Amino acid sequence: MGPVAVLGAGTIGAGWAAFFALQGLEVRVFDTGPQAQDQLDTVMARARPVLQAQGLLAARPTVPLLYVEPGPAVAGAAHVQEALPERLELKHHVYALVEASLDEQCVIASSSSGIPPSALQEGLRHPERLLIAHPCNPPYLMPLVEISGGRQTAPWALHAADAFYRELGKQTVILRREITGHLVNRLQAALWREAVHLVAEGYATVEDVDRSVTEGLGARWAVCGPHRIFHLAGGEAGMAGFLDKLGEPVEQWWASLGRPTLDEATRKALVDGMADAAHGREPAELAQERDRAVLAMLAAKKRGEI
Amino acid sequence: MGPVAVLGAGTIGAGWAAFFALQGLEVRVFDTGPQAQDQLDTVMARARPVLQAQGLLAARPTVPLLYVEPGPAVAGAAHVQEALPERLELKHHVYALVEASLDEQCVIASSSSGIPPSALQEGLRHPERLLIAHPCNPPYLMPLVEISGGRQTAPWALHAADAFYRELGKQTVILRREITGHLVNRLQAALWREAVHLVAEGYATVEDVDRSVTEGLGARWAVCGPHRIFHLAGGEAGMAGFLDKLGEPVEQWWASLGRPTLDEATRKALVDGMADAAHGREPAELAQERDRAVLAMLAAKKRGEI
């Protein structure tokens, strides 16, 4: 496969670069920031054992090369992964700079979660090859990539991106219509809204709401999606049986869900509650613990144990 | 420990009975239905390997005894677990029958998710010992028990129930205020509402929405609750940093979340989409697969691997 160009070496860009390079692809990273090289080195070191545990580490990983001009970074590229800051005009500016140097059949995949692909592709010389490929963070660990085309995206571009990520071991979903936040961030926001409500109104502590997920719902959601859970709750009649029996109560529950705002009192309840829940441990330590646990679970899933 | 009485041998009641009996407790089950004994036998057989895999199987499991009168079932009991159908008047009727035979200090723990504990305890001779202890299904597999007191529940009863379940290897959360659906069913309803919206409005298939959970969010939620996830997304500043940086966008996402109803078109989209997602496999087979996977994950968590 030809070289992969990564635009932007922030957390997500460096994560993508490490993921590609450790699988043996030639990677060129465009970033003008003074800390780009450090960031790349740090993330490469963090990602290496993760790729290894997933069985994805190439016999000969490459080293991502850093470019301070976008044109040379993308010349001859087989795939462009854009991970610039979430500012539309900045992304458009860089797209204009790279399009001149880029093969017509090369997909430009934006990692954006907040800007619709139709807005991203406006004004491009070849809007049909622009799409969104949004990873879960960090991109070298989490399997999911959400692919979403805009109004002008060509089917061939969606298929090419889909094949590209799957070849590298990712699990892809292709959205049928674009929507802000795609699937993951919307579902996450929906769950968190009720989690915030339960804390803000004093029904439970931050720690207990979190534990109700890790010790209950989360263990199921890691292996069984929300629709399938209710399909299986419907017995032999499946989803239809569930809807007949519990459709009305579910609608009543929906109507009773909280609609919190992040006002001062709620922010304080969340910050104080999280401080209690952390039991004096720093975010960095908790993040390490999370990554170790997620990696162990994904590796066990990959081995077919889970 | 003294005998445990289980009122009702439906799915939840039989699940509780199996959980207690396989840990070696003396279990007395009250149920008047003709299928109660079969149900108990079936669930005992299903639960045995699950308890074994969790390291919870007693050297000498007991056999739950079936009673058709509630009084004798609870006489001398150390704990009463009520798992009757979700009808308030039925529960009140049976509570009245058992209270006369029951030690004053014995907790009555209802498995209800839909009836508030304050409503359950109305009219009881000793309302202070009535509380809710709601399991995730099946009770012999899932670690979480949600404990919720009503207006008249005594602190000693909450503490006694909490200690009882933790002694048996459960993870408990105690709600600070009662609320319909407790934590788990509300959080689950909140996630599913957006999952339904995404399907109903044609953004993604049932299968892809489910995969965005199992391949992305769920792997994190099994080890890291929704509040902690955003605490860690805030970097060194934790939750406060996250709220400063992303509080406003999150509120905008909340405002844009879907508010579907389960009308005919939506039901059809869910049923048809789930049929596609099942790829011809029956609910029973999918349920077995889910239970095997959840058990493997919980066992790995217990061994400290995840």
Residue numbers in B near A215 (CB within 8 A) = 142-144, 171
pLDDT above 90 for B263: yes
| Structure token digits, residue B6 | 């289980």
| pLDDT at A159 (0 to 100) | 98
**Residue B243 Rama label (left phi>0; alpha psi -120 to 50; beta):** alpha
Over chain A, what is the mean pLDDT? 96
Task: Give bridge partners of residue A109 from the DSSP assignment.
Answer: A81, A131
A183 with B203: Cβ contact below 8 A: yes
| pLDDT at A64 (0 to 100) | 97
d(CA B54, CA B46): 14
Q: Compute CA B142 distance to the chain's CA centroid, rounded to the nearest angstrom.
A: 7
A227 with B261: Cβ contact below 8 A: no
Interface probe, candidates A12, A113, A175, A186, chain B, greatest B C-beta count within 10 A: A186
A281-296 pLDDT, tens digit each? 999 899 889 989 999 9
Using 50, 70 and 90 to split pLDDT, how confident is the model at B304?
A: confident
Segment holding B190, helix H or strand E: helix B184-200
| pLDDT at A1 (0 to 100) | 83
A146-203 pLDDT, tens digit each? 999 999 999 999 999 999 999 999 999 999 999 999 999 999 999 999 999 999 999 9
User: What are the sequence ranges of the domains in chain A?
Assistant: 4-174, 184-223+261-302
- Who contacts B159 (Cβ-Cβ below 8 Å, separation ≥6)? none
| pLDDT at B262 (0 to 100) | 98
pLDDT above 90 for A302: no
Angle between helices B264-278 and A238-256 (to 10 degrees): 130
Q: Compute CA A110 distance to the chain's CA centroid, rounded to the nearest angstrom.
A: 12
B209-244 pLDDT, tens digit each? 999 999 999 999 999 999 999 999 998 999 999 999
Sign for the CA dihedral angle at A166, A170, A171, A176 comes to negative
B116-154 pLDDT, tens digit each? 999 999 999 999 999 999 999 899 999 999 999 999 999
Note the CATH number of domain B4-174.
3.40.50.720
Compare all CA atoms of chain A with the CA of B193 and give the residue at the minimum distance: A254
B80-113 pLDDT, tens digit each? 999 999 999 999 999 999 999 999 899 999 999 9
A93-126 pLDDT, tens digit each? 999 999 999 998 999 999 999 899 999 999 999 9
- Give the ipTM of the model, two decimals please: 0.95
Q: Is A121 helix (H, G, I), strand (E, B) or coil?
A: coil
| pLDDT at A303 (0 to 100) | 87
Using 50, 70 and 90 to split pLDDT, how confident is the model at A213?
A: very high
B219 touches chain A (CB under 8 A): yes
B221 with A224: Cβ contact below 8 A: no
Angle between helices A283-302 and B283-302 (to 10 degrees): 130
pLDDT above 90 for B306: no
CA distance B117 to chain A (A): 14
> Could you say which of B171, B177, B297 has the minimum Cβ distance to residue A222?
B297
DSSP state of A64: P
Cβ–Cβ under 8 Å, residues A136 and A163: no
B283 with A238: Cβ contact below 8 A: yes
Among candidates B79, B297, B218, which has minimal Cα distance to A221? B218
**Per-position b or e across B3-40, b if 16+ CB within 10 A of its CB:** bbbbbbbbebbbbbbbbbbbbebbbbbbbeeeebeebb
d(CA A212, CA A218): 8
Over chain B, what is the mean pLDDT? 96
Compare all CA atoms of chain A with the CA of B220 and give the residue at the minimum distance: A294
pLDDT above 90 for A235: no
| pLDDT at A165 (0 to 100) | 98
B218 with A222: Cβ contact below 8 A: yes
Cβ–Cβ under 8 Å, residues A24 and A70: no
- 3-state secondary structure string across B12-45: HHHHHHHHHHHCCCCEEEECCCCCHHHHHHHHHH
